[in-house]
Amino acid sequence: MSFVRNIASGLRSLFRKERVSQELDEEVNGFLEMAAEEKIKQGMSRKEALRAVRLERGSLEVAKEVVRAAGWESFVESCWQDLRFAVRLLRKDPGFAAVAILTLALGIGANTAIFSVVQGVVLAPLPYREPDRLVMVWLNNNNLKSITDLSYADFVDWQRSARSFEKMAAYAWRGFDLSSPGTPEHLQGREISANFFAMLGVELAQGREFSTEEDRNGGAPVVIISNSLWRDRFGRSATAMGKSIVLDGVEATIIGVLPPDFRFGTDDADIYTPIGQRKLVEQNDRTVHNVVCVARLKAGVSMGQAEAEMNTVQETIDRLHPDMEEGLGAKLTPVKEQLVGDVRGTLLLLLGAVGVVLLIACANVANLLLVRTAARTREFSIRLALGAGRGRIVWQLVTESVLLSVLGGGLGVVAAKWGLNAALAAAASSLPRSENVRVNVSVLLFALGISIVVGILFGLAPALKSSRVDLQTSLKEGARGSTTGHQRAQSSLVVIQMALTVVLLAGAGLLFRTIQQLWKANLGFDAHNIITFQVGLSPSATGNGVGVRTAFQQLIERIRQIPGVQSADLSTLVPMSHQVNSLPFWVDSRRPASVAEAPRTLGFITGPDFQRVMGIPLIRGRFIGEQDTVNAPLVAVIDTELARTYFPDTDPIGHTISFAQVGGYRIVGVVGHVQHWELGFSSPFTAAQSYVSIYQIMDRWMTTIDTWTWVVVRTPLEASTVEPEIRKAVYGVGSDQPIYNVHTIKQTVSESMSSQRFPMIMLGIFAGLALLLASTGIYGVISYSVSQRVHEIGIRMALGADKRDVFRMVVGQGLALALAGLAIGVVGALILIRLLTSFSLLLYGVAASDPLTFTTVSVMLTLVAALACYVPARRAMRVDPMVALRYE
């Protein structure tokens, strides 16, 4: 209550100032009169009485002032006065205001933009119910220190045994060929278990999710579709429920539609089918690891407890299936870490970089303010002499700087919103949760917060400096003011700016060099002129192994006939495209006790022409050939990496390589090693590679292989010219064979560098901004210094210094600052970048102390600094000694 009354009374004083002040006057005057009357009664004259009251009671004018200053409203009022004064000052000097506000808008805008990305991607909770309890559960191979997806059979066992979870669900990626209604199209999809959406806590927009009866073999064919598919093919009609669509030649009934904003991970899926209805061979085979398990922890169960339980569960499974991979445990990761983990480091790095840009911008504005306050020394001296407190003057100056930064911040938010839309349009595909990035309330609060902090930061130092003026000297010195202290402060700010700029430039430069190195890296194959794509085989052909083999052979034959196609063949793996087929293997009779201990090799299942299409060099023996059919003995080709590691002293040809669950293959050749993983990523993944013929794959596998088989085509023609030809050739047989995922290898390689390219572009932009700001900073300081030294320069010239000496003196002063900053910055960058590279994989093929980068940065910075000093130096040269001396 009293708080409200306090506010109300304060507001009354603020807005009915006349009235309140009048009342106070009347009350105090009454007091004075009554006291005086008393005295007069005792025989004093009126004049004496008034004087006596003042002596006894203190000055009544002061009393009024004390009462006025006691409430909070007087503080507000003085702030308001300061603000109006600040606005007046800025309007008097629009040039200064514009430069300062634009500089701050750049710095704050860039920070706001990056923060809104960090906020939307990293900080904001996932859009599921109680997202902190969501985890992903992986198989964990302790021997190889790697985690993998699980098999569907594992998932069923886990779901039956685990007690730590409220719900456990699973999904597997799968492409679908949609042939009706509308034009045939290949769509990305997921197979999901019955309670997937309930586990996430997501409500469907229409219909329901799969029941447990539907999520099993022989269940009714049902499907859930994405909101966009519902919109495109059914016009958002509620009557879509219960209608059928044809997927891979099978009719399925729509029973649900997802909400429009549903996403799980980076890729959108349009089709969801029950995972329990997948092909039997995929359901039962424990060597097919393509299922991802997502689970919701029970309330009160920690990740550690759940992981311990899952380890026990997996041990039991291992004992029941001794021929499978024994020695596997389980590993839990929070869903959020899984979905955004990769970009978190990059985003925080960028936030740091953009913070540095803001610091540089602040230093610039602080410099401008120093000059301004130096010019106002007289004003402050007079106010101090008249009894203003130092605090009051500092407060007023800080009000001025905060006004600047808040105006800059407002403009910055507008710029951020505009820049963000442009940046997201370019980078959305490589950024998870990018749909969640927007300028919202917390971003606005952030912008306001940093505006105020920054305003205080760059305003406080000049303010403290100015309020400490020595009254004697500054009043005497008159208009010239005391400038030496200011110049030292300005010079240190320039040195700091230069140093920070060096750090940003070096970071951007190193990333640029990394990408350069990546392009130069030896890929192990000829990446030019290769197009890769996938084809859905006609459902009528995939019923049995023989049918698939024939269909593949005919497909490749037709593609080879296309004019301009030099060669073409099949492969289950395309280099640099994230695909994995990691197989446990052993050589000859050296079978390990448990499969989990066996080394891994990347298994390429290809046609006989693959090596020639890709341009992989043949080192020894031969590649797999036309003669290696199902009826011929099994043969394999290994790469130099596998040969070097497992046949260090012997010729591998004629030896046997055995794959778990499959059998032994006679090695007939050795080919060069191919860069399969993203460039720059090497060590944690399987390196050794081996090749077997797609035509020697067992029948039961052939029926599922088409969904993960690629066609690679070598042609000198453009992808866009060949693609329609390929479509024509493929569709010649039947129209239910969509072609999808058409890329050139060049594109795939380029995409594999996105984790370096995105930060490089952003860092490059920030470094450019920093350079611009720092050079205007050094320009401002040097030209101010020249204007202050006109007198001195005049004397020098009068005493015989020629123009070249003056020029050298001015440029030398600027370069000294730049070089000092450069030295500090190089040391800082070396330390910082070494620190950063120790826990991130951003650099490849370039040392953190790369001499070329650092030399280039140093030369660039020195040149820019020299250029910035050139203009004021020219002005100094034109000083006329006569005018300069008389000016005093």
Partner 1 sequence: MADKPSDLVQGTLDMLILKTLALEPMHGYGIAVRLEQMSNGVFRLNAGSLFVAFQRLQRDGLIRSEWKATENSRRAKYYVLTDQGRKRLNSETREWGRQVAAIARILEAS
Give the interface with partner 1 as residue ranges (CB under 8 A): 1-2, 5-6, 9, 23-24, 26-28, 30-31, 33-35, 37-38, 56-58, 60, 62-64, 66-67, 70-71
Q: What angle do CA 638, 641, 645 make, to 5 degrees?
A: 100
Nearest approach, Cβ of residue 830 and partner 1 (Å): 59
Nearest approach, Cβ of residue 44 and partner 1 (Å): 17
Cα separation, 801 vs 556, in Å, equals 84
Nearest to 264 by CA among 210, 333, 335, 188: 335
Sequence-ordered alpha helix ranges (H) in 521-544:
none
Joined together, the tokens standing for residue 265 give: 């991970």
Nearest approach, Cβ of residue 21 and partner 1 (Å): 13
Cα separation, 43 vs 795, in Å, equals 75
Q: Looking at residue 130, what DSSP letter applies?
A: S
Closer to partner 1 by Cβ: residue 1 or 799: 1
Cα separation, 15 vs 77, in Å, equals 10
Nearest approach, Cβ of residue 16 and partner 1 (Å): 15
> Cis omega before residue 127 (within 30°)?
no
Closer to partner 1 by Cβ: residue 65 or 93: 65
Nearest approach, Cβ of residue 82 and partner 1 (Å): 24
Report residue 334: phi and psi, to 5°.
-60, 140
Closer to partner 1 by Cβ: residue 30 or 633: 30
Nearest approach, Cβ of residue 54 and partner 1 (Å): 9
Closer to partner 1 by Cβ: residue 16 or 243: 16
Q: Give 569's strand partners.
A: 712
Closer to partner 1 by Cβ: residue 26 or 337: 26
Nearest approach, Cβ of residue 52 and partner 1 (Å): 13
**Three-state SS string across 609-661, please?**
CHHHHHCCCEEEECCCCCCCCCCCCCEEEEEHHHHHHHCCCCCCCCCEEEECC
Cα separation, 87 vs 92, in Å, equals 9
Q: Count how many Cα atoms sit within 13 Å of the Cα of residue 290 in the half-sphere of its side chain.
A: 20
Nearest to 131 by CA among 292, 294, 2: 294
Nearest to 775 by CA among 700, 674, 866, 660: 866
Q: Scanning the structure block, which residue is given the tokens 């004003």?
A: 379
Closer to partner 1 by Cβ: residue 23 or 699: 23
Closer to partner 1 by Cβ: residue 59 or 566: 59
Total Cβ atoms within 10 A of residue 617:
13
Nearest approach, Cβ of residue 436 and partner 1 (Å): 47
Nearest approach, Cβ of residue 75 and partner 1 (Å): 15
**Three-state SS string across 333-368, please?**
EEHHHHHHHHHHHHHHHHHHHHHHHHHHHHHHHHHH
Report residue 256: phi and psi, to 5°.
-160, 155
Q: Give 173's strand partners.
A: 190
Please, are residues 660 and 583 in contact by the beta-carbon 8 Å criterion?
yes
Closer to partner 1 by Cβ: residue 44 or 246: 44
Report residue 606: phi and psi, to 5°.
-135, 170
Q: What angle do CA 745, 575, 328 make, to 5 degrees?
A: 150
Closer to partner 1 by Cβ: residue 13 or 405: 13
Nearest approach, Cβ of residue 788 and partner 1 (Å): 47
Nearest approach, Cβ of residue 824 and partner 1 (Å): 53
Closer to partner 1 by Cβ: residue 56 or 888: 56
Nearest approach, Cβ of residue 458 and partner 1 (Å): 37
Nearest approach, Cβ of residue 793 and partner 1 (Å): 57
Closer to partner 1 by Cβ: residue 55 or 280: 55
Nearest to 646 by CA among 579, 592, 605, 607: 592
Joined together, the tokens standing for residue 699 give: 């029948």
Q: Scanning the structure block, which residue is given the tokens 């299936």?
A: 321
Closer to partner 1 by Cβ: residue 49 or 288: 49
Closer to partner 1 by Cβ: residue 73 or 214: 73
Burial of 251 (0-12, 13-18, 19+ CB in 10 A): exposed
Nearest approach, Cβ of residue 12 and partner 1 (Å): 11
Closer to partner 1 by Cβ: residue 31 or 685: 31
Cα separation, 140 vs 160, in Å, equals 19
Nearest to 675 by CA among 533, 577, 570, 529: 577
Closer to partner 1 by Cβ: residue 31 or 395: 31
Cα separation, 764 vs 766, in Å, equals 5
Cα separation, 679 vs 516, in Å, equals 11
Which residues are within 8 A (CB) of 131 and not within 5 positions of it... i.e. 6 or more apart? Answer: 125, 335, 336
Sequence-ordered alpha helix ranges (H) in 428-483:
441-467, 471-477
Which residues are within 8 A (CB) of 48 and not within 5 positions of it... i.e. 6 or more apart? Answer: 39
Sequence-ordered alpha helix ranges (H) in 690-736:
699-702, 719-731
Nearest approach, Cβ of residue 467 and partner 1 (Å): 27
Please, are residues 209 and 770 in contact by the beta-carbon 8 Å criterion?
no
Closer to partner 1 by Cβ: residue 67 or 772: 67
Nearest approach, Cβ of residue 65 and partner 1 (Å): 8
Joined together, the tokens standing for residue 567 give: 């060669």
Closer to partner 1 by Cβ: residue 42 or 720: 42
Closer to partner 1 by Cβ: residue 2 or 239: 2
Q: Looking at residue 122, what DSSP letter applies?
A: I
